[in-house]
Amino acid sequence: MKHPVVLTLVVAVLLTAVVLFAGCMSAPPDTKPMPPVSPVTTAPVPSGSSCGITSCHGLDLACGANPPEVCTMEYRLGDKCRQYARCDSSGGSCTFVTDSQFATCKACVEQCVARETADPAAAFDCEAKC
């Protein structure tokens, strides 16, 4: 081991190549086109409060004037789909808005949960493919 820096760089490059190649080889789940989701309006937003998703984890999403300030770092099934949902208060009320991918992602996760009731680890593996 005369050149540990060179060996470290070679290992890092090979590891990066393997990770990138593995990501390119995963197949997307079967997706069906979903109709657009219309926003759901909730209670008016009082001045001075914020509008946000009222839960920290999972697919039970709603918007409200008192979103949590801090959430735990744990990961629960459905957290992946939360990136496609948000709350909007531009019209004076706190409105739940989803992107088109949310309904597809939510349906996929719900299928994983229903299919893998006996093995939680398998449900998480299934969700990773959503």
Q: pLDDT tens for residues 36-65?
A: 544 544 445 445 568 999 999 999 999 999
Going from the C-alpha of 104 to that of each of 29, 83, 88, the distances in angstroms are 10, 13, 21
* SS3 state of residue 12: helix
Beta-carbon count within 10 A of 34 CB: 14
In this predicted model, what pLDDT tens digit does every residue of 23-37 receive, in sequence order? 555 555 555 544 454
pTM for the whole structure: 0.59
The two structure tokens encoding residue 125:
């593996």
In this predicted model, what pLDDT tens digit does every residue of 3-22 receive, in sequence order? 666 556 556 655 555 554 55
**pLDDT computed for residue 112 by the predictor:** 95
Phi, psi of 48 (to 5 degrees): 90, -10
**pLDDT computed for residue 45 by the predictor:** 45
Phi, psi of 80 (to 5 degrees): -60, -35
> Bigger pLDDT: 66 or 104?
104
Long-range contacts of 36-40 (CB under 8 A, 24+ apart): 36/100, 37/98, 37/100, 37/102, 37/103, 39/88, 39/95, 39/96, 39/97, 40/95, 40/96
Residue with tokens 């984890």: 57
CA distance 38 to 51: 18
Q: 117 falls in which pLDDT band (50, 70, 90)?
A: confident
